[in-house]
Amino acid sequence: MTYAEKLKDPRWQKKRLSILNRDGWRCRDCGDGSKTLHIHHCHYAKGAPWDTPDDLLLTLCASCHEYRQPLEDEARQLFAVICANCPDINGLVGSMRHLSIQKRPTLFLYNDDQMVAQSAHIEKLCKAGQL
């Protein structure tokens, strides 16, 4: 079965609808719900697309999807460099395991070591063109 055929499979369509519902039928990056929405695989697990864990899938509009992919590719390369140069890889991985991707992580914005904003406010600043 080709990848295109897999995306037409009822198991993928069910998974896709589940992710769209979870994300409120809005792009997770920009919040727009009026554009064409894609389901982005943050990581392609072996096997069929419907076997991908939900926490590795997110709803993106077409333009955010196009913008995000090269950034994620670069992040993977940078993380590989970090891993290659980390004297305590067990500690690094262990400290990352507690992260829950099921929920949107809280982001913090710092200026001169002082926290100036959290996630919701950061999104508002971005949309207003202030960041």
How many C-beta atoms lie closer than 10 Å to residue 59's C-beta? 23
The pLDDT tens digits along the chain (131 residues) read 888 898 899 999 999 999 999 999 999 999 999 999 999 998 877 788 899 989 889 999 999 999 988 888 888 888 888 878 877 777 767 666 665 544 444 555 555 555 554 445 555 555 555 54
For residues 94 and 125, state if they share a domain.
no
Cα dihedral value 95, 39, 21, 125, nearest 10: 70
For the chain, the domain total comes to 2
For residues 65 and 127, state if they share a domain.
no
The token pair that represents 107 in the structure block: 């982001």
Q: What is the pLDDT of residue 81?
A: 84
For residues 58 and 78, state if they share a domain.
yes
For residues 68 and 130, state if they share a domain.
no
The token pair that represents 44 in the structure block: 């392609």
Name beta bridge partners: 59: 39
For residues 74 and 111, state if they share a domain.
no
Q: What is the pLDDT of residue 26?
A: 94
Query: Alpha-carbon distance 5 to 85, whole Å?
Result: 41
For residues 22 and 49, state if they share a domain.
yes
- DSSP per position, 35-84: S-EEEEESS--SS-GGGS-GGGEEEEEHHHHHHHHHHHHHHHHHHHHHHH
Q: What is the pLDDT of residue 8?
A: 92
Q: Which domain holds residue 129?
A: 100-131
Q: What is the pLDDT of residue 34?
A: 94
For residues 92 and 114, state if they share a domain.
no
For residues 65 and 108, state if they share a domain.
no
For residues 86 and 34, state if they share a domain.
yes
